[in-house]
Structure 1
């Protein structure tokens, strides 16, 4: 579609702003019903579903699908959850289905949503009684803020682990601050997985940068081990800045949690050199693959406990 100029009519402006997607009511504010029917019959326009039109005749683009979802859901609908988070730049989330949030006081146009064309993504409509103005982001289409989107997405996730991943991803990618998530959660007393989301926010605020580190912190907590410092800055023997995943400074015990990238031979060699540098300063270093932290937490906790005891830690009676 060509970007409209000052001479463009009201309909062209509206179609441009909404990626070519219009409601029948919007079209009728400018065109007669007969003209609209003629555009559809001639193939110049496309009828998407009851009451929705495309000012064109091609397959729906991603932007157009988002507009279809919002307009089909009706007045007050906004993009939400993972969909709104993706629009805010959060990576690694599922594109489908498209999540839409509507005020609890009204119902979405479910009949329209059931009659979508095959090139339209599935749409899931959620209802909420709490949607203050500060949770809304100015955008086209309208959506919730990144913080509200991530809290909702975590609550609607298919599993506990996916919920944690969503919260961690938003913070790790610097798209939102833990404090912003906490502020949203404060006004959602009935949010699904509220306690889990709060714990994940606290873990991220404590320095955890990846889900494997969050798993490790919770492992230590359950095992009665002292809490380590996370993501501690350190300068190696070559003068390069390094970050320690978990470090007990008092006992000089260091834990590295290895993700898949550590299997690459270049990372492997760099990791060995870093491990040697740490050992030569007198620190003890333990390394665990992320899958072991997740699948065998008791085994990992036992190893860490023995290392701390050997370094002089004594559990409180």
Structure 2
């Protein structure tokens, strides 16, 4: 009997593992970026593209957002603890300027936006998408 129970528990684990594998994406640079993506998808928003590269007109890469909605010109940037330093903060300001110059909207996300049962990242990104013409039917 103990062997049957052990196999049954193992099958649940296999099922859970298979479901988890379907959520894995290449390109996520951190656990918070993955949490951000999963919160957005769980809320019914489109899945963002990870590490999308934005090129200028001559083909030179100018932006590498953590996640993006290329169709709507939205860049999502997760700013972890190291973004609090002066030098990184100045680089982040320059990055946001480049984003805007190329006609994109940057949405900056911090740790506090990912917390709780109803993470604040969802309404922030939903508003950004809606400001760029997204409707719930768009995927």
TM-score if structure 1 supplies the norm length?
0.36
**CA shift at 1:217, angstroms?**
1.4
**CA shift at 1:243, angstroms?**
2.4
2:28 to 208, 212, 217: 208
CA distance in 2, matches of 1:201, 1:263: 33
CA distance in 2, matches of 1:241, 1:199: 35
Instruction: Give aligned pairs, total.
Output: 129
| Greater share of helix | 2
Q: Decide whether the 8 Å contact of 1:203 with 1:214 is kept in 2.
A: no
Residue of structure 1 in register with 2:70 after alignment = 249
CA-to-partner distance for each residue in 1:1-49, whole Å, 9 max, x for gaps?
xxxxxxxxxxxxxxxxxxxxxxxxxxxxxxxxxxxxxxxxxxxxxxxxx
Residue of structure 1 in register with 2:38 after alignment = 218
* 1:232 and 2:52 matched: yes
Pair 1:241–1:311, CA change in 2 (3 A): closer
Whose Rg is larger?
1
**CA shift at 1:200, angstroms?**
4.4
Matches within 5 A, 1:1-317: 189-191=11-13, 195=16, 197-234=17-54, 242-295=63-116, 297-316=118-137
1:191 aligned counterpart, secondary structure: helix
TM-score if structure 2 supplies the norm length?
0.76
Q: Decide whether the 8 Å contact of 2:53 with 2:61 is kept in 1.
A: no
Q: Where do 5+ consecutive residues of structure 2 fail to align?
A: none
Q: Where do 5+ consecutive residues of structure 1 fail to align?
A: 1-104, 106-127, 130-187
Q: Which has the higher contact order (CA 8 A, sep 6+)?
A: 2
